[in-house]
Amino acid sequence: MAFELGVYHFGELTPDPTTGAMMNPGVHLRHLVEQATVADQVGLDVFGVGEHHRTDFAVSAPAVVLAAMAQATDNIKLSSAVTVLSSDDPVRVFQQFATVDLLSEGRAEIIAGRGSYTESFPLFGYDLSQYNELFAEKLDLLLKLRDENPINWEGQLRAPLIDGDVTPRPDRQIPVWIAVGGTPASVVRAAKLGLPLSLAIIGGSYQQFEPFVDLYRRAAAEFGHDPKKLAVSIASPGFVDTSKQTALDTSYPYFQAGWMQNHHQRGNGVPMPRRAYEAQATTAGAFFLGGPQEIIDKTMAQYELFRHDRIMIQMGFGNVPQKDMLRAIEILGTEVAPVVRKEIESLKSSQK
């Protein structure tokens, strides 16, 4: 696949750090659709929305939001980021994303994960002690749903399906990525199944994640898959503006507010001092944070290490104002993406 650049958002409802005002969920959802529209217009490749089930997030039904985006866009891929498959019904997940895929004429994706937040488990009646077992079994069912209809399937944690007729059917096989936050077993699972890997790097040095990408490709080969045909995506927070200083000044107050309120379970926020935020903007830091050249340099440095296929930036975490978000998306699409694509294609050509 050609190298892709995208944006994702969790739809967090962080109070404004200056006024304390809380954004209306409906306004925020419409803002997300507008962001996806601009991302499509400036030539970005992917837009993703997350899934959370708390009052400080607007997106609990990502497929519904993606369906709205499908009607407002023409070319951009529309992805979950992530689908918390462990506490969902794979039949409904398949039906919802098949619907988005049909509405968008083949642009839907599922990034499936176990979920780093746990509020959805009691909400939907699942036992957290079965955290791993639920994901493994439901992923097995979701993948079988892609390939068969009617479907016959039996597991341990839900009723079997006997000649189940699951519709609508998309016109193609919907891509399913596996989201990983740094667990080797999850990396190996993706490799064994021959599924693309979405690796979340949300702090520290991105270089510490090289062993996970290496493990993924080695394991894929051991399980009989061609590693060159399996895509790797890097997902990290960030913000882009006309300069590094402007990016820091614009985004930091909102990021800090969001990091405290939304980053972990309610009541367990993590402080992010300005110096720590700036450290993430350095060459070795995980965040895609700066002006166009800093984002280009960070992307190319990561590409030298990972030889990956996509970056996804969690843009404007903590509800950066919409005018600043739209400017950031435009800069990413018009000033960063063309340069990155050209440089990576040049590298690939020189290595043939």
Residues 6+ apart with CB under 8 A from 193: 139, 143, 178
Q: Say what the pLDDT of residue 336 is.
A: 98
Q: Say what the pLDDT of residue 351 is.
A: 82
pTM of the model: 0.96
Q: Say what the pLDDT of residue 267 is.
A: 60
- What's the CATH number for 4-350? 3.20.20.30
- 239 phi and psi, to 5 degrees? -160, 140
Rounded Cα distance, 278 and 248, in Å:
7
Strand residues in 193-330 grouped as ranges (E): 197-200, 232-240, 288-290, 310-315
- Of 148, 53, 10, the C-alpha closest to 91 is 148
Residues 6+ apart with CB under 8 A from 72: 33, 34, 36, 37, 40
Strand residues in the chain grouped as ranges (E): 4-9, 46-49, 77-80, 83-84, 108-113, 151-153, 161-164, 176-180, 197-200, 232-240, 288-290, 310-315
Rounded Cα distance, 29 and 320, in Å:
14
Mean pLDDT confidence for 318-325 = 96
Sign of torsion over alpha carbons 329, 174, 144, 63: positive
Cα first-last separation, the chain: 16
Peptide bond into 339 cis (omega under 30): no
Angle at 82 between CA 158 and CA 315, to 5 degrees: 170
C-alpha separations of 298 from 28, 202, 291, 323 in Å: 29, 14, 11, 25
Rounded Cα distance, 204 and 92, in Å:
36
Q: Say what the pLDDT of residue 116 is.
A: 74
Q: Say what the pLDDT of residue 263 is.
A: 66
Output the six-digit token pair for 280.
Answer: 């993430």
Q: Say what the pLDDT of residue 298 is.
A: 97
pLDDT, mean over the chain: 95
CA torsion, points 152, 155, 159, 160, in degrees to nearest 10?
Answer: 10
Q: Say what the pLDDT of residue 117 is.
A: 81
Mean pLDDT confidence for 251-262 = 90
Q: Say what the pLDDT of residue 129 is.
A: 87
Tell me the per-residue pLDDT of 265-302, one tens digit each, with 9 for 90 and over: 556 677 889 999 999 999 999 999 999 999 999 999 99
User: How many percent of the chain have pLDDT more than 90?
Assistant: 87
Q: Say what the pLDDT of residue 119 is.
A: 87
Mean pLDDT confidence for 163-171 = 97
Tell me the per-residue pLDDT of 80-139, one tens digit each, with 9 for 90 and over: 999 999 999 999 999 999 999 999 999 999 999 987 788 899 999 999 889 889 999 999
Please determine, for residue 322, whether its predicted confidence score (pLDDT) is greater than 90. yes
CB 286 within 8 A of CB 202: yes
- Of 350, 352, 347, 349, the C-alpha closest to 306 is 347
Rounded Cα distance, 237 and 175, in Å:
23
